[in-house]
Amino acid sequence: MPDRPTALELLEAVRGFLETEVAKGATDPRLRFRALVAANALSIAGRELIADEASSSAEARLLRELLGEAPSGAPPAQEALALSSELCRRIRAGTAPRDTPGAIRRIVEGKLAAASPRYLERKR
Amino acid sequence: MSEELRQSLEARLPALLGGPVQISKLSRLAGGASMEAWALEVRAPSGPFSLVLRRAAGGRIYQDALSLEHEHALVAEAHRSGVKVPRPYGFLPDLLGHDAFLMDRLRGETVGRRIVRLPELARARAALPAQMAEELARIHALDPARLPFLPGTGAGSPARRAIEGLVAQLDSVGEPHPAIELGIGWLRENLRDTGPAAVVHGDFRIGNLVVGPDGLVGVLDWEFARVGDALEDVAWPLVKAWRFGVDRLRLGGISDERAMIDRYVEITGRKVDPRDLHAYELLGNVRWAVGSLQQAQRHLRGEEKSVELAILGRLACEVEHEILQLLEAP
């Protein structure tokens, strides 16, 4: 599960920027037009994204295995959120499973692959 | 906006600068998230002034940020005590609805990406580690009793207070972040008080320092000052996020940390145990991870709509990765 803002929320933030700041402030009508087109492109990408649940599924599976939980049947993003909250609770209580650091590392690397792929390359 | 502000300032500056003033230039600088900054050129009977006006804008970034009135009082006290800060000229309550204060405009570079790279700042980079140590020593020698408005002045362990403050901030974000939890769990076991509570700047790093060809010109951005453990300030400029891409130079992308630590120990007589420094570097990373999430929340909650704040929510995983690295290499 990615942190917030989610991909959709990021797209929405940039779309708002293009529509309100770039398009409204543009004196060049062509720039204004292209900004609106770009905003629309982000709307399309946003709609496609809603279908893409692969990364949440992977995270939910990792957390299920770590915590020894059965699949909850909830949508992957929701399941990952619930399991991640449970893991946080156990870490605070001092009852996290032994493999916790390794699992968290894989989850964080998954987040980096989406949010900042160059960060991991820089490490190497 | 700027014409209204000019008129308001021309009415109020004579009291601060002594006599009638004329503002020959007023322009908005790229501001921080919660603060506006304006550059002014002012003619007054006592001479021409190049000034910066800091003025409140949206909400606060952290719960513990100082009000502008207190920030002004702190900068004034630091200035009296010989810390390199812009000379403050006075607090202006309710300047067109927002508090503000006025200070000298220092000449130099503040943008981290440039400070770590510009060839003409090579001499500055060589001088900065010792100069940073000297300013930190001066800041940590400030008398907390003269600054009773600073957070953290109560009794109790500054290390505990730092951790519990971050837990409360993380809880206010309301998202699960296991990597940050792991860091907090480790800090609960390993972070200890390393000396008497001191005035700490709270955001002392490349990016908040004005740098000229000979090095450090002034220390800016005092709104996160508090009473805490001095090592919070010593370790903060080592946090990877403040290396501006030059990761191998652990002190802000300009140097290894040795020269700064040695000079700091020499002046203050404090001992800096490498294990404590490591623990406080981890604390700094947890602080920045939580801070990034909080800033993204400002966008998500509509307190301040901004793509720049929003993106921090996704870059927090870089800081989480660094927390995991530090946990593996104690």
Whole-angstrom distance between the N-terminal and C-terminal Cα of chain A? 25
pLDDT band at A99 (very low <50, low <70, confident <90, very high): very high
Residue in B closest to A117 by C-alpha: B318
A interface test, pick of B314, B319, B327, B328 with most A CB neighbours within 10 Å: B314
Is the distance from CB of B40 to CB of B9 less than 8 angstroms? yes
Shared-domain flag, residues B174 and B240: yes
Shared-domain flag, residues B164 and B273: yes
- CB of B181 within 8 Å of a chain A CB? The answer is yes
Closest Cβ–Cβ partner in A4, A10, A119 for B318: A119
B49: domain CATH number?
A: 3.30.200.20
Shared-domain flag, residues B144 and B279: yes
Q: H or E stretch including B27? A: strand B22-29
**Three-state secondary-structure class, residue B226:** strand
Query: Residue A54: is its pLDDT beyond 80?
Result: no
- Choosing from B104, B129, B153, the residue where a domain stops is B104
B148: domain CATH number?
A: 3.90.1200.10
Query: Residue A51: is its pLDDT beyond 70?
Result: no
| Mean pLDDT score, B237-258 | 97
Query: Residue B1: is its pLDDT beyond 70?
Result: no
Give pLDDT tens digits for A61-82. 999 999 999 999 998 889 999 9
Q: How far, in Å, CA of B328 to CA of B330, rounded?
A: 6
Is the distance from CB of B323 to CB of B285 less than 8 angstroms? yes
pLDDT band at B35 (very low <50, low <70, confident <90, very high): confident
> How many distinct structural domains can be found in chain B?
2
Residue in A closest to B174 by C-alpha: A85
Shared-domain flag, residues B26 and B123: no
Residues in chain B within 8 Å Cβ distance of A122:
245, 247
- CB of A95 within 8 Å of a chain B CB? The answer is no
How far does CA B1 lie from the centroid of its chain? Answer: 28
- Choosing from B74, B104, B134, the residue where a domain stops is B104
Residues in chain A within 8 Å Cβ distance of B306:
13
Q: How far, in Å, CA of B171 to CA of B297, rounded?
A: 12
Number of inter-chain CB pairs under 8 A, A vs B: 93
Within 23-62 of A, beta carbons closer than 8 Å to B belong to: none
- Choosing from B84, B104, B124, the residue where a domain stops is B104
pLDDT band at A124 (very low <50, low <70, confident <90, very high): low
Residues in chain B within 8 Å Cβ distance of A119:
318, 321
Token pair of B204 as six digits:
């002392």
- CB of A88 within 8 Å of a chain B CB? The answer is yes
Q: How far, in Å, CA of B253 to CA of B238, rounded?
A: 9
Shared-domain flag, residues B147 and B194: yes
Domain of residue B97: give its range. Answer: 2-104
The structure's pTM equals 0.90
- CB of A94 within 8 Å of a chain B CB? The answer is yes
Q: Which of B140-149, B247-256, B284-293, B309-318 has the lowest mean pLDDT?
A: B309-318
pLDDT band at B30 (very low <50, low <70, confident <90, very high): low
Q: Which amino acid, one-letter code, is at B13?
A: L
CB atoms within 10 A of CB B54: 27
Give pLDDT tens digits for B149-167. 999 887 789 999 999 999 9
DSSP assignment of A28-39 equals SHHHHHHHHHHH
Q: Which amino acid, one-letter code, is at B234?
A: V
What per-residue confidence (pLDDT) applies to B58? Answer: 58
How close does chain A come to B72, measured CA to CA in Å? 33
| Mean pLDDT score, B64-69 | 88
pLDDT band at A6 (very low <50, low <70, confident <90, very high): confident
**Three-state secondary-structure class, residue B125:** helix
